[in-house]
Amino acid sequence: MDSLHHRASGSSSRARDVPAAYARSVLMVGPHPRMMGGMATVIGGYIDGGLFERVTCRFVSTYRDGGYAAKALAALDGWTRILYRLCTMDAPLVHIHIGARASFWRKSAVCLMAKALRRPYLLHVHGSEFMQFYDDECGPRAKRFVASLLRDAEVVLALSEQWRTNLMRICPDANIEVLTNAVRLPPREQLRRRRSDVPTVLILGRLGRRKGTFDLLEAFARIADRHPRARLVCAGDGQIDEARARAEQLGIADRVSCPGWLDPEAARDALASASIFALPSYAEGLPMALLEAMSWELPPITSPVGGIPQVIRHGENGILVEPGDIDALAEAQDRLLADAAERERLGRAARRTVEESFSIEAALERVLQIYRRFGVPLRTAVS
The predicted-structure confidence for 344-362, as pLDDT tens digits, reads as follows 999 999 999 999 999 999 9
pLDDT of residue 189: 82
pLDDT of residue 10: 43
pLDDT of residue 66: 83
Q: Report residue 258's pLDDT band, with 50, 70 and 90 as the boundaries.
A: very high
Q: How many residues comprise the chain?
A: 383
pLDDT of residue 16: 55
pLDDT of residue 196: 77
Amino acid identity of residue 141, one-letter, is: R
* Sign of the C-alpha dihedral computed for residues 262, 361, 211 and 247 taken in this order: negative
Exposure letters 210-239 (e unless 16+ CB within 10 A, then b): bbbbbbbbbbbbbbbeebeebbbbbbbebb
Residues 308/302, Cβ–Cβ less than 8 Å: yes
pLDDT of residue 197: 87
pLDDT of 4 higher than 60: no
- CA gyration radius, the chain: 21
pLDDT of 52 higher than 50: yes
**Distance between CA 66 and CA 76 in Å, rounded?**
15
pLDDT of residue 120: 96
Instruction: Tell me the CB-side half-sphere exposure of residue 63, using CA atoms within 13 A.
Output: 23
Average pLDDT, the chain: 92
| 238 three-state secondary structure | strand
DSSP state of 95: E
pLDDT of residue 1: 46
Residue 153, phi then psi, degrees to nearest 5: -70, 140
**Distance between CA 2 and CA 32 in Å, rounded?**
10
What mean pLDDT comes out for the span 20-27?
77
User: Please, what are the domains in the chain?
Assistant: 25-182+360-373 (3.40.50.2000), 188-357 (3.40.50.2000)
CA angle 268, 270, 273 (to 5 degrees): 105
| 371 three-state secondary structure | helix
Nearest residue to 97 (alpha-carbon basis) of 19, 162, 41, 171: 41
Alpha helices in the chain (DSSP H): 38-48, 51-54, 68-88, 102-116, 130-137, 140-152, 161-170, 213-223, 240-250, 264-273, 288-295, 326-338, 340-357, 360-373
